[in-house]
Structures are given as C-alpha cells and as structure tokens.
Amino acid sequence: MQRCVSAMVFQRTGGGSAYHVGMTTPSFPQASGPLVLPGPAGALELFVEWPDGMPALPLTAIVCHPLPTEGGSMHNKVVVMAARSLRELGAVTVRFNFRGTGESAGSFDHGNGETDDLRAVAAWVREQRPGHALWLAGFSFGAYVSLRAADELKPDALISIAPPAGRWDFSAIVPPGGPWLVIQGEQDEIVDPQAVYDWIDGLKNPPELIRMPETSHFFHRKLMDLRGAIKHAMKAFLPAATD
C-alpha cells in the first residue's frame, strides 16, 4: 500500500436541505442489531453495531453503500469491512439501505432521494446521541452521496472509498472542512483512478489520499489492507473516551 501524503416526520426547512425530526423516534439501541427507521420515502432498514470487546467512544459512524441498481446494499463486503474497521477503533457504526434497497421503501432516485435518506439517518443519530462525534463513510455511490451531504451535515470526519468521480457529477460538491480520507484502488475497473486523482488535484483543500496498488473496485483480496488503511489513517481523529 502506498500513502500519498413509530412515526417520524421529516420536514424541509426554508433552504430546502436540512431535516428536522418530530414526533416519536426509535431509541438508539444499546446492543447490536437491525432497526427500522421511518424515513422520507418510508421505512429505512438499518443495522447498528457496537464495538466488540472494548468500550465505545462517543462516536457514531454512518457507512453508505454502493449503487443499488448494480447490486449494492449495506451488506456489501467493502461496506461491512469499513464498518468493522471503525468499530475496531471504538466507533458505533450504522449501516443502512438506501430507498428501494432491501427492506427500505421507495425507489432509486439517482442520488437525490438517497441524500435525503442519509440526512434522515444523520438527524436521528444526532438526536439520539447528542454531543457525540459523527463520521460519514461511503463506498463508490455511497461515497458520492456522503460527499453531497458533507457540506450541510458537517461531519467530524469523512471517509470516501473509490469516490466515483467521472461517473457522477462532482461539480457541486463542497469538500468538508474537517479530516477527510480518500482510498482509491489503482486497478479499479469501475471508477477511473485518474479521474479521482484529477478531481483531487483541482481541490483547494484536498483530502489525505491513499492509493492501493493492484487493487480492484471491490478490493478483492485487499479487504484486510483496506481495514488497516482506515484504522491507521483515522486513529488520530478519534474523540477522547468519556467516563
């Protein structure tokens, strides 16, 4: 690996992007397991996981999955590994299915409705875990969705795995102001690595970039390397443990 440097109501506010949560909401579970969260298009299927064998930090990481029209879901192996690596750092992780995927209601909306879904999950996490850090992570299409929402949600850190520059319109994306990690396989057959590098080169505040040689889009035989890259890069940004 090479390192280069019940019911819920969602109501748009005047600017049209933020969601406020009203009425009753499911409590944040104190043990790992599935959850159904009412969302903008109906039920959203979630899976919350707590760290195993270590105390949880005041940190929740939401991990977004790849393109549903090409089989992507919260059970994708890259998404699962990314979430695992963050739990091994002490984060509580939330994976969820975008609308129209798995048991989530609705239909594919080309990133627009999916960004609303992420807003809803983030609003619920922040309501249920006030004062805790929020990280966003995404793989491929999930990286695109989390990047679209980053300027509004202002996560404490952002992780973008194979962000699909060149496949989706990144022109309106405002990079986050906080810690940001991009991981890109150099033999990605779906996302053009050079398009990712060119996009990063044009940013005023570029992320930390990790290029993974001999690595395809789905990180075949490289998932443990991905795990190590995330843990090594993100450990410096962990919040302090609370009593």
Q: Which residue has the tokens 């989706």?
A: 168
Write the pLDDT tens digit of every residue in 30-42.
999 999 999 999 9
Q: What is the pLDDT of residue 7?
A: 32
Residue 15 in contact with residue 32, Cβ under 8 Å?
no
The DSSP code sequence of 84-110 is: HHHHTTT-EEEEEPPTTSTT--S---T
In degrees, to the nearest 5, what angle opens at C-alpha 223 toward C-alphas 58 and 238?
Answer: 20
| Selection from 99, 207, 201 nearest residue 160 by Cα | 207
Q: What is the pLDDT of residue 25?
A: 80
Q: Which residue has the tokens 């949560």?
A: 21
Higher pLDDT, 176 or 43: 43
What does the buried/exposed string (b/e) look like for 13-27 if buried means 16 or more CB atoms within 10 Å of the residue's CB?
eeeeeebebeeebee
Q: What is the pLDDT of residue 177?
A: 87
pLDDT class of 103 with cuts at 50, 70, 90: very high
Would you say domain 2-237 falls under CATH 3.20.20.70? no
CB burial of residue 136 (10 Å; 0-12, 13-18, 19+): buried
Tell me the domain boundaries of the chain: 2-237
- What end-to-end distance do the CA atoms of the chain give, in Å? 37
Q: What are phi and psi of 82, to 5 degrees?
A: -60, -45
Q: How many residues does the chain have?
A: 243
Q: Which residue has the tokens 């930390």?
A: 208
Rg, the chain, Cα only: 17
Average of per-residue pLDDT values in the chain: 91
Rounded Cα gap, residues 189 and 204, in angstroms: 27
Distances (CA, A) of 76 to 31, 95, 139: 22, 10, 9
Distances (CA, A) of 74 to 71, 138, 142, 154, 216: 10, 10, 10, 22, 19
Token pair, residue 39, equals: 């969302």
Q: What is the pLDDT of residue 220?
A: 98
| Selection from 118, 87, 123 nearest residue 101 by Cα | 118
Residue 146 in contact with residue 157, Cβ under 8 Å?
no
pLDDT class of 24 with cuts at 50, 70, 90: low
Q: Which residue has the tokens 């760290």?
A: 51
Q: Which residue has the tokens 């903008």?
A: 40
Q: What is the pLDDT of residue 12?
A: 33
Q: What is the pLDDT of residue 242?
A: 84
Higher pLDDT, 243 or 56: 56
DSSP 8-state secondary structure symbol assigned to residue 165: B
pTM confidence score: 0.90
